[in-house]
Amino acid sequence: MTSSRTASPDGPSGVVFPEAGAGRSTTALGRAVVADALRAVDPVGARSAEHETDWRHGYVGHFRRLVEAGLLSREAALTIARDGLASLHRRMRVVPDGGTEIGLEQVFDTPTDHPPLDTATVTGDGAVERELSLPYRGQRLRGDDLRRRLDAWVDAGVIEPSCAEAVRLVLANPDWLDLRDQRVVVLGAGAEMGPLPSVLRWGGDVVALDLPRPEIWRRVLRTARRHGGRLHLPVRPGTGDDDAALAAGAGADLLHRLPQAAQWLLGVQGRLVLGNYVYADGATNVRVATAVDALTHHLQGRRDDVALAFLATPTDVYAVPADAVRHAERGYAARGPARRSLRVLSGGRLLHRNYPPDADPGINDSLVPQQGPNYALAKRLQRWRATVARDAGATVSFTVAPPTRTRSVLRNRALAAAYAGAYRFGIEVFEPATSNTLMAALLVHDLRTGAPAQPQPWQDEAYAAAHGGLWRVPYAPRSALGLAVLLGIGATRG
């Protein structure tokens, strides 16, 4: 039986971290979940995580170990994913408004007095597009121009060859863009990286969820009116049907009204494609990611037609194919004398090679310590869910997205500077419109082909990755990060 306690009226509500000592510790939670995930496969790694005294800075090595331990076998990777998810669900808590704290697993069985949400549907006025096109540096690439761009990205190591192949297949089958047979749920409808604009442009049905903030919904409604698809949004009962009223009455709070959102989604007719595009700053990111995962698990248990979609961050740790390792090695062998000298002068701290020679698979460690352990845990949670769901037979679209100049990135001054200087090391940073269209095309590919599973979970994660070059550059990304920041600061000042 799960213990419960009356929450403090001044404390946090909704999905929250468990109490640990004097408060709710994000460090204690992250350390415990990583240790639990490793315990059955790598008990030494689990003990190391449990005894980490500087989690804020030391988490990087433990998140790398989660990937390395999963390479032992397919079952090892699945065990890590299952045990990590189970630990998080067992530990996280929910504090209802003015109520008694309960376990996360109890949230959908606890009575709530929040009224059910109604559904409003908005049909756009724009023409429906039936040809894949990609906005890129002021142009709209179509047909052979888009194919040449894909080839150039592959040659430069910006995307994996499987990514180009998947997009070419969508180009060859333009009828696939008609997603009226799906209900594409966009959790985080206002997110810059989500597929909402593309699906609406192609005439599809988008089921949009985001916070009840009018500024978000005004932007989403403008997008819906501009294109030819249909937007379905949750609204409070009695909401009017003009755009001003819809913006004021729309929204579903996954953090604080999880059962209400789940009830609404259970009533949506048609095959659900549950797309996770939520993001929040700091510790709230883990709370929201956990809420979405609880929602995902709940919907999967009550509907047999739920496909899942995720965008993975490129700034994480991945196992990568031998072909990527060879590409990086060729670049390392061809490095210029200035970079060789810089490596020597720095005592090997700067610009060291991305992989050991002939690694198969290689381990690409692109974690950015400044993003912090909460960001890493929130994103790793999504990877675990994708692995477990795919093994259970669900259709899963999981794609590594390119580095992108989103608002959240540009708010982080160090990361913004690193992105500004990244091109000097062979990294291409994308604009949001390019990224979200490219990722939407890959979602279409996965839904139409069933996203065929690879032999090993790490290969599923590497398939069709658009990492911006991080996997194929000569240098380990963190060994070039400081230089990229300095060069980026100089470029922005210039």
Confidence of residue 20 (pLDDT cuts 50, 70, 90): confident
3-state secondary structure of 465: coil
Confidence of residue 4 (pLDDT cuts 50, 70, 90): very low
Neighbours of 75 (CB within 10 A): 13
Is the pLDDT at 5 greater than 60? The verdict is no
For helices 26-39 and 283-302, what crossing angle results, to 10°? 50
H/E element holding 275? strand 271-276
pLDDT of 282-336, one tens digit each?
A: 999 999 999 999 999 999 999 999 999 999 999 999 999 999 999 999 999 987 7
Under DSSP, the state recorded for 22 is T
Confidence of residue 338 (pLDDT cuts 50, 70, 90): low
What are residue 362's phi and psi, to 5 degrees?
-85, 160
* Cβ atoms 258, 168 nearer than 8 A: no
* Cβ atoms 151, 159 nearer than 8 A: no
Instruction: Kindly calculate the radius of gyration of the chain based on its CA atoms and give it in whole angstroms.
Output: 22
* Cβ atoms 67, 320 nearer than 8 A: no
Joined together, the tokens standing for residue 66 give 């989660």
Confidence of residue 179 (pLDDT cuts 50, 70, 90): very high
Confidence of residue 3 (pLDDT cuts 50, 70, 90): very low
Which pLDDT score, from 0 to 100, does residue 6 have? 46
Is the pLDDT at 416 greater than 90? The verdict is no
State the Cα–Cα distance between residues 17 and 29, nearest whole angstrom. Answer: 7
Q: How far is CA 411 from CA 277, 371, 405, 414, in A?
A: 18, 12, 10, 9
* Cβ atoms 31, 55 nearer than 8 A: yes
pLDDT of 93-135, one tens digit each?
A: 999 887 789 999 999 998 888 899 999 999 999 999 999 999 9
State the Cα–Cα distance between residues 4 and 154, nearest whole angstrom. Answer: 54
pTM, to two decimals: 0.94
* Cβ atoms 2, 104 nearer than 8 A: no
